[in-house]
Each structure stands twice: as C-alpha cells, then as structure tokens.
Structure 1
C-alpha cells in the first residue's frame, strides 16, 4: 500500500490567533490518526508561479488513513477553531 501525503497551502491567514488555537488541537489529532508532520512553514524558495504561502506536508500510511484523520472528530474539533481565520487548500496525494 502506498503512503499518502496531505499537502495544505494557506492562501491567506486573517486571524493568527485562530491559527494558533487550531494548531494546538490539530497536531495531536493528526498524530493520533497516524500522521507524521514532515514540513511546515513558508517555502525556502519558489519557482515558476509558486507563492510564498504557509505550506504543511503530512505523511500517512495510506490515502484512507489521511482521509480518516481529516474526518475524525478530534480533527473536526480543531478545524472549528480555524473557521474564518484562514483560507487554505488541502490536497491528499498518493505516494509513488
């Protein structure tokens, strides 16, 4: 079974306090679901039409595990704290 990667890019952060509150709950919720945060922060460099946006890369054992983490009650509780505080894009990509 291929690993999966959850890639989150933040288009904007309107409320840093909401992001901080979200982060306190989301990290443990993701870890409890088997996720491993591999990278997070502003890109060191971008090419082509890349944007200097906060990016988070999380590894899971499978696409199903990544989706289950996102849909878990613990992560959904964290997500409620972020509501309206940031605009972002989350993609789950299967590894090769």
Structure 2
C-alpha cells in the first residue's frame, strides 16, 4: 500500500538554509523510492481556510516512509527546514486502487450497531 509524507507548512520564511534543504532533499528520498506529488504551489481553497502550503511525498509503503524520515541523511538536513518553517508533518498510509468508501461506510455502520 502506498504511503505519504504530508506536510502542512505555515509561516514560511525564505532563508538560505531552505534553499540548501531543497537542493539536498531529493538525494535523501531516492534510496527510499520517495517522490514529490505536490510541492507547495498555492492551493485553491474551496471550503474553509488553508494558511500556508502543502507538500505531499509518495513512498512505496509506510515502513519505507518511516525509514526515510529516520535516516541519517534526512535527519542531517531536517533542521534546515524546521528552524525556518513552522509546520506539521504526517506519515500516513494511502488506500489502494480497489478502495471503495461504501465498504468503509458499511464497516462503520456494523461497528456502530454492535456498540453498547
């Protein structure tokens, strides 16, 4: 199952360290099969509000995503970003091509029916 590194970046401050981070991050992703899917373009907000920007990186699975984050190569550059950009980062498992939200609804209904 694919997994994703999802970052919500707020209060971005352009700093030379950020440029260095951008120049070095792909080399940390390559050994783990990581690839950028979204990388910070302005979003069209159609509901609610969204301060900041988004980054989405795809990995083969959640264990690989965690191994990338924990890798010495990524840990070496992490502070280049975190010292200058406030944000949140999640590692989350995706859904496969056969995912059907109706099946999830049925499972939630069944669980609710069994609850006291």
Cα deviations across residues 43-64 of structure 1 (Å, max 9, x unaligned)? 3301322314221111111111
- Contact 1:43–1:52 (8 Å) recurs in 2: no
Structure 1 residues 52 and 28: CA distance shift in structure 2, 3 A: same
Shift of 1:11: 1.2
**Hey, what's the Cα distance between the residues in 1 that align with 2:92 and 2:49?**
18
**Hey, what's the Cα distance between the residues in 2 that align with 1:47 and 1:72?**
37
**Hey, what's the Cα distance between the residues in 2 that align with 1:40 and 1:83?**
16
Q: How many aligned positions are there?
A: 95
Cα deviations across residues 70-94 of structure 1 (Å, max 9, x unaligned)? 1100001111322421111111121
Matched residue SS, 1:46: coil
Q: TM-score, normalised by structure 1?
A: 0.86
**Hey, what's the Cα distance between the residues in 1 that align with 2:77 and 2:25?**
5
Shift of 1:15: 4.0
Q: Is residue 2:8 matched to residue 1:18?
A: no
Whose helix fraction is larger, Structure 1's or Structure 2's? 2
Choose between structure 1 and 2 for higher RCO, CA contacts under 8 A separated by at least 6 residues.
1
Cα deviations across residues 19-73 of structure 1 (Å, max 9, x unaligned)? 1111111121012221011111233301322314221111111111001101100
| Cα RMSD after superposing both structures | 1.6
Q: TM-score, normalised by structure 2?
A: 0.73
Whose strand fraction is larger, Structure 1's or Structure 2's? 1
- Which ranges in structure 2 are unaligned for 5 or more consecutive residues? 96-116
